[in-house]
Amino acid sequence: MSNPTSKHTPRPVSSKTTYALAGVAVVVVAAIVAALYLWNRGDGGGVRNDGYGPVHDPAVTVALDSDGAIVLGKSNVAKTIDLYEDPLCPACGQLEKIYGQEIAQQVDLGKIEVRYRLVNFLDPKSKSKDYSTRAVAANECVAQSGNGPVYSKFHQLLFTTEQPSEGGADHDNKSLADIAKQAGAGDDVAKCITSGDRADTARGHAEAALKTLDTKLDNRAATPAVFIDDKKIDVNKKNWVLDAAK
């Protein structure tokens, strides 16, 4: 890694690498999880609920909590999923590609709400060296609008067709604002993103979320990570979303 306070020690982990971040004493696995196996094996274990798309129901709202969690769902929902992810994390992109539409339908049905807890440990792996932080800030700008379907579409785009590759070109703030407008966000949201005014706040939220995740996983924080009632969910089980919605 280019950050002089950290080191990069490669070793085999699901064909990807383990990032040792000395400054935070945390090991973050940027690996394609076994869900990728489901994606590739060709026995019906690919994209779940393909064709549904992002959240549809205008009754779904989104809110930005004081701790930085982005909460997507309807009121009085019994089940809450905490989903930790980095905007540049390829495994997080695969999770969204495979399960994002199924999650969206269960949110529309009022079965679950999702608390997106975005982290930024992959900033050094982006060409701009701060992409993850700026993408977290953009998510917060969109979430502040309160429009659930717009946020859901923005999140889907950012983690699928618009997700940059590690080390490759990433989005500047104007490009992030354009993606938000593509998702249906208004000019006020676009201005929030292009101004970069939320960058410092988003960085604080992302670093706090990473510390919390590190604690939950015994100092081995990894993304993506899903929790229900502080219990880690095995996302390698293809029915985990439907099981969560029961």
Of the candidates 112, 94, 95, 101, the residue with the CA atom closest to the CA atom of residue 53: 101
Q: Is residue 53 part of a domain?
A: yes
Q: Is residue 5 part of a domain?
A: no
What pLDDT sits at residue 167?
87
Of the candidates 184, 41, 145, 47, the residue with the CA atom closest to the CA atom of residue 104: 47
Q: Is residue 12 part of a domain?
A: no
Residue 227: what are its φ and ψ, rounded to 5°?
-130, 145
Q: Is residue 183 part of a domain?
A: yes
Q: Is residue 2 part of a domain?
A: no
- What is the chain's pLDDT, residue by residue, as a tens digit (246 residues)? 333 333 322 222 222 333 434 334 343 443 444 444 444 433 345 899 999 999 999 999 999 999 999 999 999 998 999 999 999 999 999 999 999 999 999 999 999 999 999 999 999 999 999 999 999 999 999 999 999 999 999 999 999 999 999 988 999 999 999 999 999 999 999 999 999 999 999 999 999 999 999 999 998 999 999 999 999 999 999 999 999 999
Q: Is residue 1 part of a domain?
A: no
Residue 29: C-alpha distances to residues 17, 44, 76, 99, 184 (Å): 7, 27, 34, 20, 33
Range of the structural domain that residue 208 is part of: 17-244
Q: Is residue 107 part of a domain?
A: yes
Number of domains in the chain: 1
CATH classification of the domain holding 99:
3.40.30.10
Query: pTM for the full model?
Result: 0.84
What pLDDT sits at residue 116?
98
Beta bridge partners of residue 62, listed in sequence order: 72
What pLDDT sits at residue 45?
55
Q: Is residue 96 part of a domain?
A: yes
